[in-house]
């Protein structure tokens, strides 16, 4: 697409380091730093990384929960010319080793204290990888440079980060963003939402290893805002933070807003400071929209995915009231369209696959040209999601064509669970679908047909060994007959979803 920006993220952050040098950039429960301090600290770490042998384009993995150090280190990797390659800290050794070794070939892994054993076990499986405790960067907080070698000259097409995404193939893919991608993404929202981003105070609880964490943080630091970083979401604390700090921006899956609305402090809470609240990842009920509207807060439905920067389109303020179930019509640089199974563009109110062309589209999947070619076609990102646009261009997201379960705002690949469970001796067929869950919105339900001696305990034990805890099914059904099939020969998941629509009521959790 045509060039819309000429500055890298580094240029933008350096601007704020001077123009808002005393403004708080990052605030945590125990600490905070200004834009000037952030820049000095990140530059010193970047020099140290170069002295440690990091070459331009080499990958650096962070294996840690949300923290100030996480964000500062990510900035340092950018300055050094490295590529950030974070991994979910809840992953198992086999999952981390696959991402760090087979996918990224990371040179360094930085871990927090809780992940020391995990990082060391991963290092033993990945040749040539060096492990550091993330606290090692604290020694550079005073800005003391550790290296006199010049930093590389960074351009718009240099790659910044690889964000892992759960796809329908069973293994996570790495979504690559460049400076051009992210700077254009930042610029687009600045044009479309100038009021919303002005001196923003962002409450961030999305994991920094995801687009909901890293991209949002990068975006609002590029606006000179203040990021209030939470290690995890807790509804009472979120309400407290909004009131104490005048939070202006918050976003997340519907389950987070539902849990806040259900908390005892919600009714009396003053939430008037919130001026930009985005909800995505699942449909938002009219009841939830009305509950927040009564507090003077308009929840605006978004649609996006990691491949599109996380937020491809957001419903406008007016449409959020008139058509609250819709997701907007794109933006200044972003176009939304619907195509049929032949790739032809559809007219208004005709269901088909959602495709996106715009500023925040990934450059590629890391080391996966085949998947890239299938997803990026003639400049359009094929999302694998079903939707339609009305005569005004407003998008309605109808269903996920890709087999993803969204649990507590985190994507879980049904195909990955099916691959792991199918490895168990005695499993003949397996289908994993989403079951409703009061705490997480959705949770995995595994439906298995196999030998008579197969037990649920065997299934859970195997999953606990090979999957992160949040992926392990909370419901398991052992069927006595083969699973239903479609005419194509695929397991008929639509029929299984109907059969187990009330699984959360009718079945007992197995863990």
For the chain, domains (ranges, CATH) are 35-154 (3.40.50.980), 404-506 (3.30.300.30)
Segment holding 464, helix H or strand E: helix 456-466
3-state secondary structure of 374: helix
Tell me what pLDDT residue 205 has. Answer: 92
Tell me what pLDDT residue 413 has. Answer: 81
Given pLDDT bands bounded at 50, 70 and 90, which one contains residue 125? confident
Lowest-confidence region among 297-301, 346-350, 487-491: 487-491
3-state secondary structure of 60: strand
Lowest-confidence region among 170-184, 329-343, 400-414, 489-503: 400-414
Tell me what pLDDT residue 422 has. Answer: 86
* pLDDT tens per residue, range 16-41: 999 999 999 999 999 999 999 999 99
Does residue 488 register a pLDDT over 90? no
Given pLDDT bands bounded at 50, 70 and 90, which one contains residue 174? very high
Does residue 374 register a pLDDT over 80? yes
Lowest-confidence region among 72-76, 259-263, 400-404: 400-404
Cα(95)–Cα(105) distance, integer angstroms: 14
Average pLDDT over the chain, rounded to an integer: 91
* pLDDT tens per residue, range 385-427: 888 999 999 998 876 667 788 888 887 888 788 888 988 999 9
Tell me what pLDDT residue 280 has. Answer: 84
Q: Are 65 and 232 in contact (CB under 8 A)?
A: yes
Tell me what pLDDT residue 321 has. Answer: 87
Average pLDDT of the residues in 200-219: 94
Does residue 147 register a pLDDT over 90? no
Average pLDDT of the residues in 436-448: 93
Does residue 509 register a pLDDT over 80? yes
Sheet with 249-252: strands ordered across: 32-34, 24-27, 226-229, 201-204, 249-252, 276-279, 299-303, 313-314
Residue 329: closest CA among 305, 312, 343, 345:
312
Q: Are 353 and 305 in contact (CB under 8 A)?
A: no
Tell me what pLDDT residue 166 has. Answer: 62
Given pLDDT bands bounded at 50, 70 and 90, which one contains residue 1? very low
Share of the chain above pLDDT 90, in %: 70
Average pLDDT of the residues in 250-276: 93
The residues near 480 (Cβ < 8 Å, ≥ 6 apart) are 449
pTM of the model: 0.83
Task: Name the range with the highest mean pLDDT among 249-253, 386-390, 402-406, 455-459.
Answer: 455-459
What does the block give as tokens for 434? Answer: 């989403």
* pLDDT tens per residue, range 184-199: 999 999 999 998 899 9
Beta bridge partners of 300: 278
Does residue 4 register a pLDDT over 60? no
Beta bridge partners of 449: 429, 479
Does residue 369 register a pLDDT over 90? yes
Tell me what pLDDT residue 486 has. Answer: 60
Average pLDDT of the residues in 302-318: 90
3-state secondary structure of 479: strand
Does residue 285 register a pLDDT over 80? no
Average pLDDT of the residues in 431-460: 93
* pLDDT tens per residue, range 47-71: 999 999 999 999 999 999 999 999 9
């Amino acid at each position: 697409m045509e060039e819309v920006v000429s500055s890298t993220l580094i240029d933008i952050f350096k601007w704020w380091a001077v123009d808002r040098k005393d403004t708080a950039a990052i605030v945590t429960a125990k600490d905070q730093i200004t834009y000037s301090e952030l820049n000095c600290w990140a530059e010193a770490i970047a020099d140290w990384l170069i002295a440690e042998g990091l070459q331009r384009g080499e990958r650096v993995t962070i294996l840690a929960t949300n923290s100030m150090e996480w964000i500062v280190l990510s900035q340092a990797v950018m300055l050094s010319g490295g590529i950030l390659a974070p991994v979910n800290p809840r992953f198992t050794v086999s999952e981390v080793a696959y991402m760090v070794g087979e996918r990224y070939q990371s040179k360094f892994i930085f871990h927090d204290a809780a992940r020391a054993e995990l990082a060391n076990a991963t290092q033993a499986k990945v040749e040539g990888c060096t492990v550091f405790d993330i606290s090692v960067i604290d020694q550079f907080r005073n800005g003391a440079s550790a290296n006199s070698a010049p930093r590389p000259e960074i351009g718009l097409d240099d790659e910044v980060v690889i964000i892992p995404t759960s796809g329908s193939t069973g293994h996570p893919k790495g979504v690559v963003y460049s400076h051009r991608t992210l700077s254009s993404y930042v610029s687009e929202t600045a044009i479309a939402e100038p009021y919303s981003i002005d001196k923003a105070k962002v409450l961030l609880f999305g994991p920094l290893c995801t687009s909901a964490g890293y991209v949002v943080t990068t975006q609002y630091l590029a606006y000179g805002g203040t990021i209030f970083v939470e290690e995890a979401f807790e509804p009472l604390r979120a309400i407290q933070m909004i009131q104490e700090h005048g939070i202006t921006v918050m976003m997340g899956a519907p389950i987070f807003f539902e849990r806040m609305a259900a908390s005892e402090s919600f009714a009396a809470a003053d939430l008037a400071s919130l001026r930009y609240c985005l909800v995505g990842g699942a449909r938002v009920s009219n009841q939830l929209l009305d509950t927040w509207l009564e507090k003077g807060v308009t929840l605006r439905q978004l649609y996006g995915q990691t491949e599109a920067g996380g937020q491809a389109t957001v419903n406008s303020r007016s449409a959020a009231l008139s058509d609250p179930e819709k997701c907007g019509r794109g933006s200044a640089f972003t176009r939304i369209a619907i195509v049929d199974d032949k790739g032809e563009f559809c007219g208004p109110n005709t269901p088909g696959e959602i495709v996106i062309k715009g500023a925040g589209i990934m450059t590629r999947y890391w080391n996966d040209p085949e998947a890239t070619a299938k997803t990026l076609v003639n400049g359009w990102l094929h999302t694998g999601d079903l939707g339609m646009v009305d005569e005004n261009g407003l998008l309605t997201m109808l269903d996920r064509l890709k087999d993803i379960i969204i649990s507590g705002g985190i994507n879980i690949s049904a195909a990955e669970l099916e691959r792991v469970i199918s490895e168990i001796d005695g499993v003949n067929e397996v289908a994993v679908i989403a079951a409703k869950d009061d705490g997480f919105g959705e949770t995995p339900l595994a439906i298995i047909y196999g030998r008579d001696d197969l037990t649920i305990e065997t299934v859970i034990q195997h999953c606990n060994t090979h999957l992160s805890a949040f992926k392990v099914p909370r419901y398991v059904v052992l069927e006595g007959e083969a699973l239903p099939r479609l005419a194509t020969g695929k397991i008929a998941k639509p029929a299984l979803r109907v059969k187990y629509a009330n699984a959360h009521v009718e079945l007992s959790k197995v863990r």
